[in-house]
Structure 1
């Protein structure tokens, strides 16, 4: 469930608009509340109360807003942007001069429940005091004890909000509070059990979930305010926050999936995104299991119109439109390596799109945001490694609209199309960075415009689904795209771009001039440990046709940016012991602890084995250390950072060489014809035979 949003307080200067719109000059007479700043005496609290307060701080996710990037914990200074200016979060450490050290508990409680600071000035509702008003007295005192007695004091002066006139006038907030801020304490529902009531308290109070997930009115108030916090069908019904769609939480279920999502940032339907990753990181992953269960139980019980998620007991397979539409081919090229052709993703690594609530949401805001700017997983105890999806802003508005429309229509998601105009508007708001590149990625979608489109699409599919389509010719759990990423369209990923222009050509390993057909069949025999295709085979002709289409305007002798896999300094000396460590930390998650590769529930290969009887044989180029190292350097691991198009690469030259030495020298099938290799030319120093 790729749910969302950007962390709630950040969305709001919000009610700053309401100060003037609702209050205006008429509210200017409202006096500042009397200051209650007291001396620096710090009361002592017992350890149990302090520990309870620590947990309350996690329930409320205080650290998310009150800690600046790279700054001291809870010392404030984080910029909370709004359309009306910037609010800077405050120092809530017990420093006497700049934090809460000079406050009394009464002043703290008033700020938490009513939005009035110790010196009497009113707080912007970027501080979600309407939700915190529901904290129990016991939790409020415990939080105070933790902040005063446990948090390290930090001298960090607070910054004034830089709000534009007239939003810099705080007086109208008093009227806004009188109209919209519901300060009713949490009241248990006697008709519900203890679990439901605990969930209701956590969601409505410290968790302040409504700040993002409840739609806003004209004065930027939560529409559920003023009626006990439940707001009928408006409460938690979903909203748009900083171009993220905060999903409808009403009727959210199944309960176990919600618990897993809040604990780990992932479940079988997807993964969190946007600033919800921070909520998982700092807050919900630390909740007690019984509290996660309570929250999930409460949300599931709220009446709503959410369709029940379909049970994903079996794959719906590859959609028929994958190869007949521009959107389907765009998805095949740019998305399948991570999200797979059947939309099932890779468990624990890349989220599924099949049954994903964000994909199927009526509002595609989050989907557009993710596609244009990228995404990262939440780092949790169960999933500590962060995986990244790069932004795809390099693609045109039409291309993105086609791909997202395909995704929303496939696997039973049943959502409406995305228009190029929607992409254009989102791009203008988000202003994503687009890095320049000398390598122009060919678009598979363009195949459909060719007169021989059927043959070309077949040739492309033979590269992407080699083992499935040609089982008698493939003896390993490999496809051509195992080494030629995204059907041969990735710079530095052994792309096919321009390759056929250089054939026929002399091959030192064969000691003779070979054709394009010879080169293809060489890969069948070595890289896939299989059998060559007959010279008159329609499939071989389709593959050659696809290569010729990839040639474009390239002529023999041209310099093709991104061609091949690059080089690794031959002076470097590999360290296989370190390579084993690199493999365990960076490679095993996809290729298996014992190099066996990764399969899905149906037994189909997701990521190929790197050694063993189902891997490439001794005669493959990848069995050579320096060739494998160059490929690894530029292409592995996938999802490592924001590099287009797979977030691939990122290891140092030495790390790539070490891990290549380790896996290339593991057991693998022999290649009997190795005795015929390099009959005239010197053998490379890293050849295995």
Structure 2
């Protein structure tokens, strides 16, 4: 082979080697970016460095501290306003020591004391991702609004000298690999202690791990931005913890406050192995001094005492009887029980239980008060794509909220829970600027006010018969329905068939009967149609109690008056229904409460929780809800619940077309017949959507 051929062969070989090396480097870089993306998920970088409606990692989120307002910075690889010019060494120093590339100190709202415990490999992978996997955004950083002297950053050097421990995480040799993996994530990338560990006078975490003389304080709970970050020590079973972090819910409750963002942006993306490791580590931590012993962690037994004479049938065995005899109990029954149930069990997979709920058992009621005043929303996860909301109850007075919360804490919380005063609620209201504005003149009657009336026992019985009709009157109810199934919150919700003023309009002409009917006849019409049952004797104590309850809500209403919020409103009857689309809407918005096929749902003891919309246990063909446009008007304003922030059930939210479509679907599900239907509308005027 001549010299030229040899050189050509060598050149080709070198080119192949160089190409192979370049491809190998590209593969290594791609893998590092992928690992770094997972590290960024573990660290939840996007949550703090993304403003509402802003671009990911571009900063601008306001962070409220006791010393003023900080704004998170742009950490995209933009060269001017982001971190695009950072070398790895500068990035590592910022992450571990809180010193930016320009030399100024970062505020410890950036959890660099936790990130200091990261491994070098995780740090390098994170750097690769931030520089090569994040879109660069040219967005200048906002100026902080910190009070003096905290606006002077030189003091942070002293803070770091006293409080910063920048040693990397060291595995504990006598613990398992799973335990150590969980400990590493919790103590470093997860920076769980930033919210859940008590802070000192200089706002420093009192300890950064479970080791050492202050290890018992690690993750023992702290109040942050008006939310109580609960103790994570000895928390549930590892599997329960993994489920909560993956989905935002488990059988003990749901996340709230800042944890909504943590689950939504971070923990739901963790591997199952890492989630279980977290649970194993947290379960291994001994309880803190304020944590409940395990034998009372499920809450005290409900207060069951005999009802006063005349109060009717006893409640279910696990319902606190003082729910009917106290202002807090009646307030809970009216505003909370539809989701959390009268027995505090909640609805599995939908609404959180109160029994065994750690938020309810906390000595610090900050989260409870805040949720009542400002509402709450579950995270959006792959498991639960539809977020559920609890609306704000700031329309209630400070005393009403305190009464309800004290009732729940006594019934399902901890025996030694301190009393919540109305002033506690008032102080929180001012801090949160929770005004509770009512956008319409409808005045919601308060069931608690019945206790002031001379016939209080009869009125409470009437309310109970509305709420618990099927169980209390089994001989007269043939369906799994209660009056409150259609008359929401015992008839106290605007556009939810409220009873306000109703008795003033009876006797009145009923087109379906073709004559004037009395209030008692109207009530019995519901028993026979909506509840597929039998009429009550007009002179029975139960009928008298129901009529008394209606009369109590009449107030000063006269027959000629127009009552705000009466009925269920109207809907355009020219809308053409599409039941196929209605079936899709039903599956997305209704099935979680009414069952996949409209069969309703029951609790673990076989008791009905939410009624079926079809089948033998539903309303019959003679009920108003069996008509498309009547059902659509009700759905439009009242269903689904927990859809948005409207008081008191987060109800409504579908468009007119969607309401008509879904009503067309469920109103035509199989249901019981109504033999006397041939006698309806004897003088004509039968609606076009009647089923017969």
- Per the normalisation by structure 2, the TM-score is 0.91
- What corresponds to 2:286 in structure 1? 303
Report how far residue 228 of structure 1 moved. Answer: 6.3
Counterparts of 2:272 and 2:64 in 1: how far apart (Å)? Answer: 34
Report how far residue 401 of structure 1 moved. Answer: 0.6
The question of whether the paired residues in 1 share the 8 Å contact of 2:379 and 2:387 is answered with yes
The one-character-per-residue Cα deviations of 1:657-679 (angstroms, maximum 9, x if unpaired) are: 11111111221111111111111
SS in 2 for 1:617: coil
Counterparts of 1:176 and 1:370 in 2: how far apart (Å)? Answer: 34
The one-character-per-residue Cα deviations of 1:565-620 (angstroms, maximum 9, x if unpaired) are: 00001222222222111111111111111111111111111111111111101110
The question of whether the paired residues in 2 share the 8 Å contact of 1:251 and 1:299 is answered with yes
- What corresponds to 1:381 in structure 2? 382
Report how far residue 638 of structure 1 moved. Answer: 0.3
Counterparts of 2:635 and 2:210 in 1: how far apart (Å)? Answer: 58
Counterparts of 1:226 and 1:342 in 2: how far apart (Å)? Answer: 39
- What corresponds to 1:331 in structure 2? 332
- What corresponds to 2:140 in structure 1? 157
The question of whether the paired residues in 2 share the 8 Å contact of 1:598 and 1:607 is answered with yes
The question of whether the paired residues in 1 share the 8 Å contact of 2:163 and 2:204 is answered with yes
The one-character-per-residue Cα deviations of 1:106-138 (angstroms, maximum 9, x if unpaired) are: 000000000001111111111110000000011
Counterparts of 1:230 and 1:151 in 2: how far apart (Å)? Answer: 41
The question of whether the paired residues in 1 share the 8 Å contact of 2:429 and 2:435 is answered with no
- What corresponds to 1:107 in structure 2? 90
The question of whether the paired residues in 2 share the 8 Å contact of 1:596 and 1:612 is answered with yes
The question of whether the paired residues in 1 share the 8 Å contact of 2:209 and 2:218 is answered with no
Counterparts of 2:529 and 2:418 in 1: how far apart (Å)? Answer: 45
- What corresponds to 1:393 in structure 2? 394
SS in 2 for 1:46: helix
- What corresponds to 2:567 in structure 1? 564
**Greater CA deviation, 54-63 or 221-230?**
221-230
Counterparts of 2:235 and 2:76 in 1: how far apart (Å)? Answer: 36
- What corresponds to 1:422 in structure 2? 424
1:589 and 2:598 are equivalent in the alignment: no
**Greater CA deviation, 410-419 or 146-155?**
410-419
SS in 2 for 1:200: helix
1:47 and 2:30 are equivalent in the alignment: yes
Counterparts of 1:107 and 1:406 in 2: how far apart (Å)? Answer: 54
1:645 and 2:631 are equivalent in the alignment: no
Unaligned runs of 5+ in 2: 1-24, 303-315
Map 1:161-172; keep pairs closer than 5 Å. Answer: 161-172=144-155
The one-character-per-residue Cα deviations of 1:316-373 (angstroms, maximum 9, x if unpaired) are: 7211111011110000000011111111111111111111010111000000010010
Change in CA separation of 1:380 and 1:229 when aligned onto 2, cut-off 3 Å: farther
The question of whether the paired residues in 2 share the 8 Å contact of 1:391 and 1:644 is answered with yes
Counterparts of 1:230 and 1:186 in 2: how far apart (Å)? Answer: 17
Map 1:15-54; keep pairs closer than 5 Å. Answer: 46-54=29-37
The alignment yields a C-alpha RMSD, in angstroms, of 1.8
The question of whether the paired residues in 2 share the 8 Å contact of 1:64 and 1:279 is answered with yes
The question of whether the paired residues in 1 share the 8 Å contact of 2:209 and 2:215 is answered with no
Within the candidate set 435, 441, 451, 2:437 is matched to 435
Change in CA separation of 1:95 and 1:279 when aligned onto 2, cut-off 3 Å: same
The question of whether the paired residues in 1 share the 8 Å contact of 2:80 and 2:138 is answered with yes
- What corresponds to 1:273 in structure 2? 256
- What corresponds to 2:521 in structure 1? 518
1:347 and 2:348 are equivalent in the alignment: yes
Counterparts of 2:635 and 2:409 in 1: how far apart (Å)? Answer: 33
Report how far residue 164 of structure 1 moved. Answer: 3.2
- What corresponds to 1:686 in structure 2? 689
The question of whether the paired residues in 2 share the 8 Å contact of 1:316 and 1:411 is answered with no
The one-character-per-residue Cα deviations of 1:261-299 (angstroms, maximum 9, x if unpaired) are: 111111111000011000001111111111111111111
The question of whether the paired residues in 1 share the 8 Å contact of 2:500 and 2:553 is answered with yes
Report how far residue 160 of structure 1 moved. Answer: 2.7
The question of whether the paired residues in 1 share the 8 Å contact of 2:599 and 2:614 is answered with yes
The question of whether the paired residues in 1 share the 8 Å contact of 2:298 and 2:357 is answered with no
- What corresponds to 1:529 in structure 2? 532
1:76 and 2:59 are equivalent in the alignment: yes
Q: Please identify runs of 4+ aligned residues in structure 1 that moved more than 4 A.
A: 225-230, 309-316
- What corresponds to 1:598 in structure 2? 601
Counterparts of 2:624 and 2:460 in 1: how far apart (Å)? Answer: 27
The question of whether the paired residues in 2 share the 8 Å contact of 1:409 and 1:417 is answered with no
The question of whether the paired residues in 2 share the 8 Å contact of 1:204 and 1:229 is answered with no
- What corresponds to 1:407 in structure 2? 408
The one-character-per-residue Cα deviations of 1:144-181 (angstroms, maximum 9, x if unpaired) are: 11111211222222223232332221011100100111
Within the candidate set 35, 52, 64, 2:47 is matched to 64
- What corresponds to 2:470 in structure 1? 467
Counterparts of 1:319 and 1:611 in 2: how far apart (Å)? Answer: 32
Between the two structures, name the one with larger relative contact order (CA 8 Å, sep ≥ 6): 1
Map 1:285-324; keep pairs closer than 5 Å. Answer: 285-305=268-288, 306=291, 307-308=293-294, 310=297, 317-324=318-325
Report how far residue 226 of structure 1 moved. Answer: 9.6
Which structure would you say has the larger Rg? 2
Map 1:218-233; keep pairs closer than 5 Å. Answer: 218-225=201-208, 231-233=214-216
**Greater CA deviation, 273-282 or 165-174?**
165-174
The question of whether the paired residues in 2 share the 8 Å contact of 1:329 and 1:445 is answered with yes
SS in 1 for 2:509: strand
The question of whether the paired residues in 2 share the 8 Å contact of 1:93 and 1:153 is answered with yes
1:256 and 2:234 are equivalent in the alignment: no
- What corresponds to 2:482 in structure 1? 479
Change in CA separation of 1:608 and 1:582 when aligned onto 2, cut-off 3 Å: same
SS in 2 for 1:159: coil
Counterparts of 2:578 and 2:208 in 1: how far apart (Å)? Answer: 63
- What corresponds to 1:180 in structure 2? 163
The one-character-per-residue Cα deviations of 1:601-660 (angstroms, maximum 9, x if unpaired) are: 111111111111111011101111111111000000000000000000000111111111
Q: Matched residue pairs, number?
A: 647
**Greater CA deviation, 579-588 or 630-639?**
579-588
Counterparts of 1:203 and 1:229 in 2: how far apart (Å)? Answer: 17
